[in-house]
A and B are shown apart, each in its own frame.
Chain A
Amino acid sequence: EPEVTQTPSHQVTQMGQEVILRCVPISNHLYFYWYRQILGQKVEFLVSFYNNEISEKSEIFDDQFSVERPDGSNFTLKIRSTKLEDSAMYFCASSDRVEEKLFFGSGTQLSVL
């Protein structure tokens, strides 16, 4: 089965630094998403992306966050100035139709020190 690929699997950064989390969605998918999961807590929606623009975003997705699809294959999440509370597992997901299932990557564990 095709997979969503995320890199790196672990990222450690200092507070205030910028990080970019990378994802390669499944090639024929059109809808892209970022979710995060703080340790022991629920999976939280951050943002959805379709047709080269943000479709929806949550309250968590403030001005410190941005997403980009720089080419035909990558989908990135940038956090401009990381805070301690940004420490979480970040999951990328994609789907070929908006009502269909999400295919998740294995996640990037972000640790902000």
Chain B
Amino acid sequence: AQSVTQLDSQVPVFEEAPVELRCNYSSSVSVYLFWYVQYPNQGLQLLLKYLSGSTLVKGINGFEAEFNKSQTSFHLRKPSVHISDTAEYFCAVSEGTGGFKTIFGAGTRLFVKA
């Protein structure tokens, strides 16, 4: 069964600084990987996804993530954050065999300070 580990529960960072949110996964089969963002009192929205192909994936709002199969990681990065990026970020995985469920990590709270 697949699982997702987000290594940091909270990441405080100053505005315009770079940020990396870490995610590791485990699965016995090929996987699809996702990052979702949750703003206060809202549902989750997709930031980006990796299905196949290039290991560097670009998403919305200037975020990107790199799939590293050997390290089973899918870390999320942004070179310069804004106050409006303050939110909860969830890494997620679904199995590439057509699994009908997406499993989410525990989330990382990104707090951008002025």
Give the B-binding residues of A (Cβ under 8 A).
4, 31, 33, 35, 41-45, 48, 50, 55-56, 58, 91, 93, 98-99, 101-102, 104-107
Contacts and interface: CB of A to CB of B under 8 A. Distances in A.
What is the interface of chain A mostly: helix, strand, loop, or mixed?
Answer: strand
Given A41-B106, A42-B105, A42-B106, A98 B46 contact: no
Nearest to B106: A42
A105 B102 contact: no
Contact of B107 (A42, A48, A106): A42
A45 B44 contact: no
Contact-size category for B: 20 to 34
Contacts of B70: none
A106 B100 contact: no
Interface stretch (B17-25, B61-69, B79-87, B90-98): B90-98
Given A41-B106, A42-B104, A42-B107, A104 B43 contact: yes
B49 A101 contact: yes
Given A42-B105, A42-B107, A43-B90, A98 B98 contact: yes
A83 B19 CA distance: 40
A104 B43 CA distance: 6
Contacts of B49: 101
Contact of A31 (B42, B51, B100, B103): B100
Contacts of B36: 102, 104
B7 to A, nearest CB: 14
Given A43-B90, A99-B94, A105 B100 contact: no
B42 A102 contact: no
Given A101-B34, A101-B49, A104-B43, A43 B104 contact: yes
Contacts of A44: 104
Contacts of A91: 43-44
Given A33-B101, A43-B90, A50-B100, A101 B46 contact: yes
Contacts of A48: 100-101
Contacts of B104: 35, 42-45
A43 B101 contact: no
